Structure 1
């Protein structure tokens, strides 16, 4: 199945979750589908690990990635909201943000970056060249080769509507 057609029976789930994956659905189809499979009192949870753009090196890296990919990543982060998640307005989302960080080896950091869909969908050589250049930028901030990544998890949570 997909988020637009879940392989679950009606009213069979207490929780339907999408971690970093809602953008692969069509909300006009996926919202009614989630409502269909949720039991009364069940909930739909959507969350995204977003870069903490108030951290200077992360903001600079985000700008470089945006230029490289032709995207407005800051706008995409702002668009993580209930209106985009459910254009019909049928769900009443609560939004929460949770900040967290971790320290990882530079190779792990770059492998994670390279796993993002914006890199997976572009020419492999172009992506590899960009990541090689990013290695140089990261080493300027983290000469010991250990990167402190800071994220903000954006969570949208909505209970199944009582009238569904």
Structure 2
């Protein structure tokens, strides 16, 4: 299964994605402003891989002028429903449908991994204005929480993917892995949590690409077992999801 196929898989679960995926704490956008050296209020921001608009909505709340870029037709439709009036154009980070030097900030929330940095970095630099910035971030697993660490291992095994290391990369390694070597990059990790129902938690992890590309029978088998297991752990069917947002902000040379 190619990365492109997994990236395109989100269209089949756009409503589930919009309803169950976590947002991001205010400290993430505070840090973007700090590293970029500018306020979001009044800034022209391209939110790439915008999905159903989770990050775009937060950016707009900060007063940014947001244009969303989204490759998926159904996801873009969900964006229109969630954020009527906010512009969304079809495209991806490897070939941005945006004019040269037209944005103060380009953001990738949960979507940088679907790009080829050899193409997406030059595209970002083309579209950014002088003194502009590129911000990428992910909600990542808090591996120090035992049940989340163990669940991560079960998901990786069931989906046939390699589990991520519980040891987070150093700043220099994170920059290298993101393909941002040679740029001035700031990094911050923000820990946060949310309390959700068991159903919402299962819908959240079921909206991940690793599950969306599986056969229906394989998905059902995993979630039947996981519901039973977590039901025993959390008999009130309410649990706390803990995340560590990993944020990188690269400044335009």
Do the two structures share a fold, i.e. TM-score over 0.5?
A: yes
Q: Deviations over 1:34-90 (max 9, x none)?
A: 010001111100000011010011011011111112223323984681111116x23
Corresponding residue of 1:121: 213
2:203 is matched with 111
Q: Distance in 2 between matches of 1:91 and 1:19?
A: 19
Contact preservation (8 Å) 1:104, 1:148: yes
- 1:41 is matched with which residue? 131
Unaligned runs of 5+ in 2: 1-90
Q: What whole-Å deviation, never above 9, does each CA across 1:122-159 have from its counterpart, x for those lacking one? A: 11210121011111121122110001100000001111
Unaligned runs of 5+ in 1: none
Q: Is the 1:41–1:160 Cα contact (8 Å) retained in structure 2? A: yes
Larger strand fraction of residues: 1
Higher alpha-carbon deviation: 122-131 or 5-14: 122-131
Could you tell me how far apart the structure 2 residues matched to 1:72 and 1:78 are?
15
Higher relative contact order (CA 8 A, sep 6+): 1
With the length of structure 1 as denominator, give the TM-score of the two structures: 0.91
SS at match of 2:158: helix
| 1:91 corresponds to which of 142, 161, 183 | 183
Say which of 151, 174, 177 aligns to 1:81. 174
| TM-score, normalised via structure 2 length | 0.60
RMSD of aligned C-alpha atoms? 1.7
Q: Offset of 1:117 from its aligned partner?
A: 0.6
